[in-house]
Structure 1
Amino acid sequence: MPASTQGPSSRPRAPALLRRLAALLYEAIVLFGALWAVAMIYGLAVGQRSGVMDRHGLQLAACLALGLYFIGFWTRAGQTVAMRAWHIRVIDAQGRPPRFWRAGLRFLLGWLWVLPPLAIAWWAGLDHAAGLVLLAVWIVLWAFACLLREDRQFWHDAWSGTRLVDTEP
């Protein structure tokens, strides 16, 4: 195996942080289109005339679509569309794609990337601009928190028993 993917204990190392963040940005672009389609289908199905009409149902449909997307891809191949493009795979402790419950836990813990600052912004009554700044700062801090770990894994991966590995040829 290439030396760049091997650590001292011969376990595959986490991909570089910048590459993981680039994959996250790519994933956001893919999901923008997917969620747009979900919103369009939902709106047509319920006769939605505005974005605030039945917004809770739309939010639930969007969360379910996200869960199906991530959990489905992670349990089958260990890679989403963006992870495949950036040569990153999620595995469990045995080196296989995570099973349904572990992938589900990873999905739920992945919300730690966005929910804490959004909850703080809502609680503090911040306007949209301040909320976006808070969100951006949190994402940067949460991403760099992986550097506190010896294996460089994100915290939600460590807590869910998964790890991101480099699959570059």
Structure 2
Amino acid sequence: MPHTLIFPDSTLTATVPSRLRRFASMMYEGVLLFAVVFLAGYLLDTLTQSRSGLTLRGLRQGVLFLAIGVYFIMCWRYGGQTLPMKTWNMRLVDRDGRTPRLSRLVARYVMLWPVPLLVALVIQALSHVTGYRFLDMLIIFAPFSIFIWTWIDPEAQFLHDRLLGTRLIHTDAKPRKNARKAKTV
């Protein structure tokens, strides 16, 4: 059942994208992030003459964190959408239905990380305590842990969106039936 959002300072209403739509967008995002991570890693390796992904590991993690952050923040800042969000008709807005301020976008990106990282640590601890090393493979589910809050939230928003006052909304890209009839007459 779709949730409807009503923005207080306008007559604008929007629906929240379904979890399946957000999941599909997230999977598509992963494909695009492969290119972002590859290019940032290649640039780092070229500049530092690194021959292994294990050398300069802390620097590499920092550079990749920043590169992914720049990608998301730039996309959200200019249009409120990444390419997968456009494909799946979603947009990021603030409480008033406008593109969020830059400071809020930076905070949103940073606040995306704690829940998946906490789940990853729990998985690692579980693997270590039990001695079952195959449990480490469950790490692939850590990014999807952000969906847990959507089952609790009354508007099915992510926790970081709830805390920051940002929202993902469904953008209707299809023309309205009345508009189509008006053109054909």
Q: TM-score range by the shorter chain?
A: 0.7 to 0.9
| Matching residue of 1:7 | 4
Matching residue of 1:118 = 120
Give 1:49 shift.
1.1
Deviation at 1:44, TM superposition (A): 0.7
Counterpart residue identity of residue 133, structure 1:
L
CA contact (8 A) 1:109 1:160 kept: no
Could you tell me how far 1:123 is from its partner in structure 2? 4.5
Where does structure 1 differ by over 3 angstroms across 4 or more consecutive aligned residues? 121-129, 138-142
Structure 2 counterpart of 1:156? 160
Give the counterpart letter for 2:168 in structure 1: L
Secondary structure of 1:23 counterpart: helix
* CA 159–6 in structure 1, closer or farther in 2 if over 3 Å, else same: closer
**Residue 73 of structure 1 aligns with which residue?**
75
Aligned partner of 1:45 in structure 2 is: 47
Give the share of equivalent positions with the same residue, in percent. 27
Is 1:18 the equivalent of 2:20?
yes
Pair 1:102 & 2:104 matched: yes
Q: Give the corresponding residue for 2:135.
A: 130
- Residue of structure 1 equivalent to 2:180: none
- The amino acid that maps onto 2:135 is A
- State how many pairs are aligned: 165
Unpaired runs of at least 5, structure 1? none
Matches within 5 A, 1:56-67: 56-67=58-69
CA-based RMSD of the aligned residues comes to 2.4
* Higher RCO (Cα < 8 Å, 6 or more apart): 1
Max radius of gyration: which structure?
A: 2
- For structure 2, which runs of at least 5 residues remain unmatched after alignment? 7-11, 174-185
TM-score by length of 1: 0.86
Residue 92 of structure 2 corresponds to residue 90 of structure 1: yes
Aligned residues of 2:15 and 2:169 also touching (Cα < 8 A): yes
SS at match of 1:36: helix
